Structure 1
Amino acid sequence: MKVLQVLPELNSGGVERGTLELGAHLIRQGHESLVLSGGGRLVSELESDGSRHITLPVGKKSLSTLFLARQVRALLESERPDILHLRSRVPAWLLWLVWRKLSPSSRPRLVTTVHGFYSVSRWSQIMCRGERVICVSESIRDYVRSNYPTTPDERLRVVPRGVDPAAYPYGFQPDSDWRSQFESEFPTTIGKRLITLPGRITRLKGHGDFIKIFNQLKDDPSLHGLIVGGAHPRKKDYESEIHQAVREAGLSERITFTGNRSDLREILAVSTLVLSLTRQPESFGRTTLEALSLGIPVAGYALGGVMEQLELLYPKGLLPPLDPDASLPIIRELLAAPAAVTRENPFTLQRMLEGTLEVYDELVSTK
């Protein structure tokens, strides 16, 4: 089986990481894996795992992207993939417009994945145009059913995202060399209990709520806040706004900004509590699942995919949605007497990979 996955770029993020994981799994299973994107820093890792990468600016939000249609058609006709898997709206529109004009007898079978709670519009509806539509959580399936009722229910398949328990083993602790290096880089964290907010710096991730919550916890000198993640160049103004809010709250020595990190696993593993304060429902929530897989308590707003995780794996961490004041007593309780995180975790990478290939097999077998 030859599979072509398409997404805007390969730099960072859950969609990008999932693309790499699926590509590597396809190769291990004896299939052929291709990825079409605008490129990025993860291309070398993708190719080292055996996939082939094809570079075209298919994710550029411009009408000029449509002029790539001829190249895309030539690509599909020369490569003749069995499965065309679309993962993002801009490239999905381009590829779908080309795909629908190909002969139904020879064109690839079409799979789309709804990765998020997109704004409801005809623009977003493209992600429901697949012959099979993968939903990354039960919450996403409910969203599709409610907002795009013309999507045939028999096309929907729930394949939850997952993490590799071998990569995020329960009880993992980083070695002393890593800890020494981290504390040398961020000396204000030495000897502290860390409350960590992971994720890219965008307005949706709830940094303002994090500052409000930590401001109420500052009477405990043992606590230190970590904001782990960087900002896209277009979000630099917001990043400056959050830094200013930390200074105005008098928390400059109590909250540390780490920027982008390649050692998030280690940071999660040394955290006392990981927070998810996203202002809109997460489709799934990869970093919260990574923390739970490590056995680290997570507290998150009871919304979307994060709520699904916590209800099953750590119900004591469910917080009243979008209400930092009402969340504070729960967070204080978790800091005072944290309940153990269950080891039983159905959200594994292997189940995600197998579930995706089952969708592919289902389509190819009926070709």
Structure 2
Amino acid sequence: MRILQLLPELKVGGVERGTIDLSEYLVSQGHESAVVSGGGDLVKLLNQHGARHFKLPIGSKNLKALIQIKNLRNIYNDFRPDIIHVRSRFPAWINFFALKQTSFKKPIVISTFHGLYSKPFYSKSMSYADEIIAISKTVKDYIKKNYKIDLNNLHLIYRGCDIAQFNNSKPEDLWLDNWYKDFPQTQNKILLTLPGRITSWKGIEDFLLLLTHIDLNKYHGLIPGHVKKNKERYYKSLLSLVKKYNLQSRVTFCGSRSDIANIYKISNIVFNLSSKPEPFGRTIIEAAACGTRVMGWDRGGVKESLEMINPKGLVPFGDVKQLVNEIPKMLAEEAPQTIPEIFTKNHLVKATI
């Protein structure tokens, strides 16, 4: 079969990683795989496993981008997919109109809802599919509430992490030496880590507030995450907050890291403190797979994940004081040794096929 996936870009992120994982598995099973996106660093991974990439700016949310309907239709007429898998709202709209006129049999359309979208009308494009995948029970409930679909075509498939990359093997000595050379302030500290993009809803303010309530002679905060250009002003406001709290030597912004698995492994606790309910909470799964304790707010996809990994890591939303109180208790708990099979890449790709 020929399977083509659509998403805005192939840069760092959970949606992007899932796209690569599925494409690699498809090729390994003898299928032809292709991806349409605006490009990015992960395109090279498609090339490595023999998939095709069609570069097309289908993620720009403006009327000018609608010109890509014709260009996408041309790609379809060239590749002639049997299945199209849409992973984002605006590309789904372009796909919807591109399929109005094609020179071959209409392919099966599958969509994956990766989020709890704030604009249901705009997001209706994701419901225009023959089969729909929800990445958590939280997302599945959201779909059932907001869209008129055939529930027989709605499927729950959790996101999965690659346990070949995220596992509890120890980081190499060379990596550790380089890490402590670059970040000597983290050595011999209990490391509390909040991974994720630097954006206003990831709970960074709560994390910084948390650090003001603990003994920072013992603890150090890590915040690995990419800062987009349009988030630079917000990032500067966080640095001002760090200064206000006198945390300059107690918390480290690491930037975007390709070695995030090793950062999980040297962390004592990894947190997810998003101010909005997470549709899934991939960082919780990845960190637990690396043998690291995990904590987060008691709601959304994070709650689902923690209930199956370690429910003691759940804390009522927004209760920073309770979060502080639970840290010593969590450190006394045994760290997870593995994650449920349903949270693995292997289960994800097989269930999707």
- Counterpart CA distance in 2 for 1:225 and 1:133 is 39
Deviation at residue 240 of structure 1 after TM alignment: 0.6
Task: Single out whichever of 321-330 and 153-162 deviates more from structure 2.
Answer: 321-330
1:262 aligns with 2:258: yes
- Counterpart CA distance in 2 for 1:106 and 1:310 is 44
- 2:34 matched residue in structure 1: 34
- Counterpart CA distance in 2 for 1:281 and 1:47 is 35
Deviation at residue 331 of structure 1 after TM alignment: 2.2
- Counterpart CA distance in 2 for 1:100 and 1:334 is 55
Q: Secondary structure in 2 aligned to 1:84?
A: strand
1:187 aligns with 2:184: yes
Instruction: Give the counterpart of 1:233 among 217, 221, 229.
Output: 229
Deviation at residue 71 of structure 1 after TM alignment: 1.5
Q: Deviations over 1:244-281 (max 9, x none)?
A: 10111001100011011110000000000001001111
Instruction: Give the counterpart of 1:151 among 134, 149, 160.
Output: 149
- 1:360 matched residue in structure 2: none
Q: TM-score with structure 2 length normalisation?
A: 0.97
- Counterpart CA distance in 2 for 1:338 and 1:185 is 30
- 1:284 matched residue in structure 2: 280
Unaligned runs of 5+ in 2: none
Deviation at residue 68 of structure 1 after TM alignment: 1.6
Deviation at residue 288 of structure 1 after TM alignment: 1.2
What is the percent sequence identity of the aligned residues? 39
1:17–1:344 Cα change, 3 Å:
closer
RMSD, aligned α-carbons: 1.3
Task: Single out whichever of 280-289 and 342-351 deviates more from structure 2.
Answer: 342-351
Q: Secondary structure in 2 aligned to 1:157?
A: strand
- Counterpart CA distance in 1 for 2:339 and 2:249 is 38
Q: Deviations over 1:147-206 (max 9, x none)?
A: 22x12211101111111222222x321011111101111111111110000000000100
- 1:362 matched residue in structure 2: none
- What letter matches 1:297 in structure 2? R
Instruction: Give the counterpart of 1:216 among 206, 213, 216.
Output: 213
Deviation at residue 305 of structure 1 after TM alignment: 1.4
Unaligned runs of 5+ in 1: 358-367
Instruction: Give the counterpart of 1:341 among 315, 333, 336.
Output: 336
- 2:193 matched residue in structure 1: 196
- 2:112 matched residue in structure 1: 113
Q: Deviations over 1:9-49 (max 9, x none)?
A: 11110000111111110010000000000111111121111
1:311 aligns with 2:307: yes
- 2:5 matched residue in structure 1: 5
Q: TM-score with structure 1 length normalisation?
A: 0.93
Contact 2:298–2:314 (8 Å) recurs in 1: yes
- 2:174 matched residue in structure 1: 177
- Counterpart CA distance in 1 for 2:226 and 2:40 is 16
1:344–1:275 Cα change, 3 Å:
closer
- Counterpart CA distance in 1 for 2:286 and 2:336 is 12
Please give the residue correspondences for 1:296-307 in structure 2 after superposition, counting only pairs within 5 Å: 296-307=292-303
1:168 aligns with 2:166: yes
Deviation at residue 146 of structure 1 after TM alignment: 1.3
Task: Single out whichever of 202-211 and 285-294 deviates more from structure 2.
Answer: 285-294
Task: Single out whichever of 234-243 and 119-128 deviates more from structure 2.
Answer: 119-128
Q: Secondary structure in 1 aligned to 2:335?
A: coil
- Counterpart CA distance in 2 for 1:134 and 1:296 is 29
Contact 2:291–2:335 (8 Å) recurs in 1: yes
- 1:141 matched residue in structure 2: 140
Deviation at residue 58 of structure 1 after TM alignment: 0.8
Contact 2:285–2:339 (8 Å) recurs in 1: no
- Counterpart CA distance in 1 for 2:162 and 2:263 is 17
- What letter matches 1:237 in structure 2? R
1:10–1:75 Cα change, 3 Å:
same
How many pairs were matched up?
Answer: 352
Contact 2:216–2:250 (8 Å) recurs in 1: no
Deviation at residue 333 of structure 1 after TM alignment: 1.9
Q: Secondary structure in 2 aligned to 1:216?
A: coil
- Counterpart CA distance in 2 for 1:258 and 1:342 is 26
Q: Secondary structure in 2 aligned to 1:204?
A: coil
Q: Deviations over 1:72-102 (max 9, x none)?
A: 1122122110001110111111111121444
- 2:58 matched residue in structure 1: 58
Which 4+ residue blocks in structure 1 deviate beyond 6 angstroms? none
- What letter matches 2:309 in structure 1? L
- Counterpart CA distance in 1 for 2:333 and 2:204 is 23
Contact 1:80–1:107 (8 Å) recurs in 2: no
